[in-house]
């Protein structure tokens, strides 16, 4: 026995030495744009449950204490911590005083890859900091708040329990969907116990379907002169409660993306709404976090699917909320997204899809003035990367057959159903159709991340570009300063200004006694607007994107002066005159 343990120890040490050797920098040729030797090794061709996500968040924080900190935004319905990572170069300043980008994923449990995309972003920022100048400069200026999963209960339900690609969307709060007085008494049943919920079909010469001769796995509608072979019976399951319906009363039925406090509507108007805005603990936790972080200037939420870069409004009734100035910013960012992510389209929710009331996207912008996108991840364009190829009705079957080697499909097999009798069950697994196949996951994660980094880059960047002085005589001087914003986004969106969501920016002068202070509205014509109260600290409503604001003071006495700028969403800037 002693010899066995000696041999086992030697084997493990040897294996460890090989693993360490394989990761030595001299043994690796760095691929452009990717971390070569990460401290937290990750595989981005799979999906992680809540425990694994928690582990990655904590490992990143431990490996990069000067870049990553992890905290909880609150607890889910079942008590899971809702992790959010704060990522910035903490050595270059207070994270809460830098313009910030908020990113989350997985509000709908079946829309799973948003978590991986958010997690990839956090991982990439930390692991690329040392050898990528752009990332170092970005994290010196900006803060990222990244919440990989904002529906952790249902994420684990989706991953660990039998489900279809479209179930469930909600969390795990019990709901009586069919109003029979009981909850969770129906829902999916894994008839054959293989861990998959697929489809049911029954042979029927009068059915509307037959097997496709090119691929018998696929059901196609019979032509007018053809004889049917099958009828389709829906997703695998049983009518457990005897009400005549299968799979209609499972865990949850609300939609977390109908729970936000902007243009919220009750369930009879907007199906999926819960009790009242922020009645779900997960959304309440996010809202509290955002309210406590007024530096959040940009937002990104990840959904699936369809290959879309979405902005609001969610409903036509809210059309006037998105005014022309803000739409120009959205358009510039969204069109860049189309260039960065092939096959994705920049769209408006209500106009190009359907109405959404009480959506996260609209609350972030409408309620907080934050420029926010919602990306619908995965597009069938990615199947073959050429226009039109994805429109073929059998494209998914062809892709599964020749690129996934039939790994995504459960072959049809007979089953004795207690209600339908002799049937067959088979079809695509839950991890196909709405979710990326493994080999395409990292590529799309990187492209979507690049879009969010571009968005974050264009949050305001302020500087004091000019301090000039003019002697007025009598011991008085005129100090003029030009405050510049070199990025696309203003310090206050038009929505922010309209509802005075955030406090104005403050431009201050120190080093001399201020007699008068004013905002210069036309420097050439000498037109100013004086601020009589607290003239040393001028209140500026907005510093426009790619624009400037000019301020002026009349001061008494000699000596150097310092001009500083403090903006909740624009950060800080200081310059000595």
Report, as residue numbers or ranges, the catalytic residues.
376
| Composition of the chain by helix, strand, coil, percent to 5 | 30, 30, 45
Residue 509 contacts residue 476 (beta carbons within 8 Å): no
Please give the structure tokens belonging to residue 423: 């049937």
Q: How many distinct helices (H) and strands (E) make up the chain?
A: 13, 23
Token pair for 560: 């150097």
Please report, for residues 470, 552, 564, the alpha-carbon distance to residue 576 in angstroms, rounded to integers and kept in the order given.
Answer: 16, 15, 9
- Provide the 10 A C-beta neighbour count for residue 79: 9
Sign of CA dihedral 137, 139, 143, 144: positive
Q: Give residues with Cβ within 8 angstroms of 256, minimum separation 6.
A: 107, 108, 150, 151, 169, 170, 171, 280, 282, 283
Find the helix packing angle between 113-128 and 133-141, rounded to 10°: 100
The neighbouring-strand residues paired with 566 are 506, 572
- SS3 string, 440-506, reads HHHHHHHHHHHHHHHHHHCCCCEEEEEEEEEEEECCEEEEEEEEEECCCCCCCCHHHHHHCCCCCEE
Nearest to 296 by CA among 359, 357, 367, 356: 367
CB within 8 A of 125, min separation 6: which ones?
67, 87, 135, 138, 139, 144
Rounded to whole angstroms, how far apart are CA atoms 299 and 519?
31
Residues in the chain: 577
Among 53, 51, 45, CA closest to 147: 53
Sheet containing strand 476-485, edge to edge, reads 462-473, 476-485, 547-556, 513-522, 527-531
Total Cβ atoms within 10 A of residue 501: 18
466: three-class secondary structure by DSSP: strand
- Tokens 């991890």 map to which residue? 431
Residue 101 and residue 487: Cα distance in Å, rounded? Answer: 14
Number of other residues whose CB lies within 10 A of the CB of residue 39: 14
């Amino acid at each position: 026995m002693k010899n066995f343990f000696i041999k086992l120890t030697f084997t493990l040490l040897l294996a460890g030495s090989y693993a360490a050797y394989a990761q030595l920098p001299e043994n690796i040729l760095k691929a452009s744009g990717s971390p070569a030797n990460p401290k937290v090794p990750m595989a981005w061709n799979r999906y992680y449950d809540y425990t694994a996500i928690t582990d990655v968040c904590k490992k990143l924080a431990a490996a990069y204490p000067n870049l990553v900190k992890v905290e909880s935004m609150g607890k889910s319905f079942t008590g899971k911590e809702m992790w959010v990572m704060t990522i910035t170069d903490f050595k270059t300043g207070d994270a809460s005083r830098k313009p910030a980008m908020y990113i989350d994923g997985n509000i709908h449990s079946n829309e799973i890859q948003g978590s991986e995309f958010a997690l990839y972003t956090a991982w990439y920022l930390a692991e690329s900091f040392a050898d990528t100048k752009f990332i170092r400069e970005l994290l010196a200026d900006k803060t990222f708040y990244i919440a990989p999963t904002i529906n952790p209960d249902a994420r684990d339900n989706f991953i660990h329990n039998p489900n279809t690609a479209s179930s469930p969307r909600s969390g795990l709060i019990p709901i009586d969907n069919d109003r029979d007085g009981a909850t969770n008494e129906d829902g999916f049943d894994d008839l054959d116990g293989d861990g998959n919920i697929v489809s049911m079909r029954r042979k029927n010469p009068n059915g509307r379907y037959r097997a496709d001769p090119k691929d018998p796995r696929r059901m196609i509608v019979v032509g007018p002169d053809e004889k049917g072979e099958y009828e389709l019976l829906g997703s695998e399951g049983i009518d457990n409660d005897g009400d005549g319906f299968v799979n209609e009363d499972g865990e949850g039925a609300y939609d977390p993306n109908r729970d936000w406090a902007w243009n919220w509507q009750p369930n009879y108007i907007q199906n999926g709404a819960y009790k009242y805005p922020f009645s779900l603990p997960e959304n309440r936790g996010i809202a509290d976090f955002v309210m406590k972080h007024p530096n959040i200037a940009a937002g990104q939420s990840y959904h699936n699917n369809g290959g879309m870069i979405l902005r609001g409004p969610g409903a036509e009734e809210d059309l006037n909320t998105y005014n022309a100035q803000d739409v120009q910013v959205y358009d510039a960012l969204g069109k860049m997204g189309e260039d960065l992510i092939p096959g994705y389209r920049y769209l408006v929710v209500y106009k190009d899809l359907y109405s959404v009331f009480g959506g996260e996207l609209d609350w972030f912008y409408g309620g907080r003035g934050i420029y926010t996108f919602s990306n619908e991840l995965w597009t069938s364009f990615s199947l073959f990367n050429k226009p039109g190829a994805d429109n073929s009705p059998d494209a998914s079957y062809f892709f599964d057959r020749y690129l996934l080697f039939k790994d995504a499909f459960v072959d049809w097999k007979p089953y004795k159903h207690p209600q339908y009798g002799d049937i067959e069950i088979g079809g695509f697994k839950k991890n196909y159709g709405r979710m990326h196949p493994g080999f395409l996951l990292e590529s799309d994660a990187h492209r979507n991340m690049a879009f969010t980094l571009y968005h974050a880059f264009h949050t305001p960047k302020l500087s004091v570009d000019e301090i000039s002085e003019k002697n007025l005589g009598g011991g008085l001087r005129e100090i003029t300063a030009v405050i510049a914003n070199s990025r696309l986004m203003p310090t206050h969106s038009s929505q922010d200004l309209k509802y005075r969501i955030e406090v104005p920016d403050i431009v201050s002068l120190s080093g001399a006694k201020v007699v008068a202070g004013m905002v210069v509205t036309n420097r050439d014509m000498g037109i100013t607007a004086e601020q009589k109260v607290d003239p040393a600290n001028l209140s500026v409503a907005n510093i426009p994107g790619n624009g400037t604001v000019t301020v002026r003071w009349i001061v008494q006495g000699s000596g150097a002066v310092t001009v500083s700028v403090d903006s909740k969403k624009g950060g800080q800037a200081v310059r000595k005159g």
